[in-house]
Chains A and B, each alone.
Chain A
Amino acid sequence: MSGTARVRTLPLLAPALGVILVFMVAPMLIAGAYSFLTAGAYGGVRLPVTGEAYVRFLFDRDLDDSLIFDDTYLVIFGRSIALAAATTVLSVLIGLPVAWFMACRDKATRDLLVLAITIPFWTNLLIRTYCWVLILRDQGLVNAALIGTGVTSEPITFLYSNEAILLGLVYSFLPFMVLPIYATLERLDPRLVEAAHDLYAGRWAAFRYVVWPLAKAGVAAGTILVFVPALGAFLAPDLLGGGRKLMIGSLIHLQFTSSRNWPFGAAASMILMAFVLVALVIAARRRAGQVAP
């Protein structure tokens, strides 16, 4: 880009840069700074500067102030990562066929289906998650139906389990997987699939060697859009999981409220962010490596 062109584009970029600076960089810097301070007695932070919040993530202080390895927070992070990963995998397994189905309809139907996918966003996520409580609880719709049809006499407890959390997360984030995959599949030239069949590719081979490589960009985008928010979610774990186990999201929430330890809450979110960043960089590198071997 020439010097004058750069001068000319800068004013055009300014609003975007401003938004990124004010709404992304500044809060991150504040969170980063807070994570190195000491907790105030009634919330907030105070001096001195310390790395204690990060030490605490892996170590517990014994009575004599010596450090002992403590895996509590690792277990909580591990559980959240596993749940977010499971959410992502399930979203791909459900989202890919749905997106393919949508992409194969005619234009009018496609538009209608895209609209249908976005309809849940018209309602607040808290309310939608709470609806799952009403559906799944012991006196809920599912149990009423099961008892009414005589499948069972006693209500089955679906709620307050990891499976219920997973259901809530997949439900919440599935649209974020469907839409990007659909966007890539919609542009897919159907003649490529026909050509594959002409060359004696079966259904599986056509999918594996023609559709999948083209859909992969959408799956990758969807994976980021699903995995990252699922990792920090605390609504589904608290409502559908019954708050029985902590997730990263609820852990951070707790530190900023009743536990009044803002530095540790900030440190936990910095660690979470670092993890996500590293995962994304690795994924991006691998993809770059595949494209240009």
Chain B
Amino acid sequence: MTSKALNRTTLKRSALALALTLVAGTAHAEGDLFIYNWTDYTSPELIAKFEKDTGIKVTLDTYDSNETLLAKLKSGSAGYDIAVVSSDFVPIFSSEGLVEKIDAPKLEGFSNLDPRWVKPVWDPENAYSIPWNWGTTSYSVNTDAYKGPIDSLSVLFEPPPELAGKVGMFNSPSEVMSLAQVYLGMPPCQTDTANMKKVQDLLLAQAPAVKLYNSDGIIERQATGETVVHQQWNGAAMRSRELNKAVKYVYPKEGVVGWMDNVVVPTGAKNPDNARKFLTFIMQPENMALQSNFTKYSNAVVGSEQFFEASMKDAPELSPPADLKVVFTPACPEEATQLMDRVWTRLKK
């Protein structure tokens, strides 16, 4: 979720995080904890509280893509105790032996996790990971400019004529195609060429109505009305709405794409005990709420909602309908990635 992290980038916040880490870095008898996370994706308040509670000194490093993390951990000399990995990359990390077994169910606080997020497909025994933040990918609509019904992904993928030239899409083959596959009712990571042909036809027919493919600056484009309909993440849509009340995040009947970022302990961590303390720490509702308040994304710890900021408690972006179909996309095998690349290239030929 590269651009998600970029979208969230607020230098101020990162600087604050850094400052807090530095200020808190005085006389720590309890040792160190080295965290590696997406840029602007770690609550400074969370880290400060952890340091205060445990006396452990935290050092935070950031990255901008799963590929960067993969390359760094593969080089074997990273020296991190905690890393945050997207759900689709968890199986890669565990099968390549890049993360330690943590046996999460045995950790104190594991019972606080929402059963919905326990033992997920990407880590069936929770042997390697616990959930961090999660969100959904769908689209938002500027309801001042478009009054039609918005209950289906068809508004995005087969927009009515009045929306021609007002649609925005992510500029990422997997993000665009996984949502298209939800709309077409097929499982993610298609290797079936006939199915991919349907995806291609859908996107080619949509293309003339698309104003741009760009994963950055969506919050502003939707808030200013430069685009009327835009593929977007729920947390980002919430930030658009805070700028412009007319922006509405849509929960379509066909479903949405879900993503989850997970906390893992890289192989060879120098402070495994402190890493465990951190895992236990973030499974406490009042602590994980600090993280959600910072990123505006949901978490998996039951009871953290009561510590949410007021603006988040009733945010429609964070309260999906109970029957919403959420499709979690795994890391696609090479064959599927190649097919997506082909469709994407034809689309932009």
Using a CB–CB distance below 8 Å, which chain A residues touch chain B?
Answer: 39, 41-43, 63, 72-73, 75-76, 137-139, 157, 159-160, 238-239, 242-246, 251, 254-255, 257-261
Contacts and interface: CB of A to CB of B under 8 A. Distances in A.
B345 interface: yes
A258 B343 CA distance: 13
A244 B207 contact: yes
A75 B346 CA distance: 10
B272 interface: no
A9 B28 CA distance: 58
B196 to A, nearest CB: 12
Given A139-B224, A246-B348, A43 B67 contact: yes
Interface string B324-349: 00000001011001101100111011
Given A43-B67, A242-B214, A244-B207, A139 B349 contact: no
B345 A244 contact: no
B225 interface: yes
Contact of A238 (B92, B174, B214): B214
A260 B89 CA distance: 14
A73 B348 CA distance: 10
Contact of A261 (B67, B71, B214, B341): B341
A160 B167 CA distance: 12
Contacts of B334: 39, 41, 260
B171 interface: yes
A242 B213 contact: yes
A245 B348 contact: yes
B211 interface: yes
Contacts, number: 76
A133 to B, nearest CB: 8
B54 interface: no
16 contacts: A39-B334, A41-B333, A42-B331, A43-B71, A63-B193, A75-B349, A76-B345, A138-B226, A139-B225, A139-B226, A244-B210, A244-B213, A257-B67, A258-B174, A259-B338, A259-B341
Nearest to B227: A138
Given A41-B334, A139-B226, A259-B341, A242 B211 contact: yes
B341 to A, nearest CB: 4
Q: By DSSP majority rule, is chain A's interface helix, strand, loop, or mixed? A: loop
Interface of B: 2, 65, 67, 70-71, 92, 165, 171-174, 193, 207, 210-214, 224-226, 331, 333-334, 337-338, 340-341, 344-346, 348-349
A254 B212 contact: no
Contacts of A254: 173, 341, 344-345
Contact of B349 (A72, A255, A260): A72
Given A137-B226, A138-B226, A254-B344, A260 B337 contact: yes
Q: In the A-B complex, list the 8 residue pairs whose CB atoms are closest, starting with the nearest.
A: A242-B212, A243-B213, A259-B341, A246-B348, A243-B171, A41-B334, A160-B212, A72-B349
B94 to A, nearest CB: 13
A42 B93 CA distance: 11
A279 B196 CA distance: 39
Nearest to A246: B348
A139 B165 CA distance: 15
Contacts of A242: 211-214
Contacts of A42: 67, 70, 92, 331
Nearest to B172: A258
B76 to A, nearest CB: 15
A239 B337 CA distance: 25
Contacts of A75: 349
Contacts of A137: 226
Contact of B211 (A73, A76, A160, A246): A160
Nearest to B170: A243
A123 B123 CA distance: 46
A243 to B, nearest CB: 4
Contacts of A43: 67, 70-71
Nearest to A72: B349
A239 B331 CA distance: 28
Contact of B165 (A157, A257, A260): A157
A246 B345 contact: yes
Nearest to A60: B342
Nearest to A237: B348
Contact of B340 (A159, A160, A245, A259): A259
Contacts of B172: 258
A259 B173 contact: yes
Contacts of B92: 42
B105 to A, nearest CB: 28
Contacts of A139: 224-226
B262 to A, nearest CB: 17
Given A76-B349, A139-B226, A243 B337 contact: no
Contacts of A246: 345, 348-349
Contacts of A255: 341
A243 B348 contact: yes
B214 A243 contact: yes
Contacts of B71: 43
A174 to B, nearest CB: 25
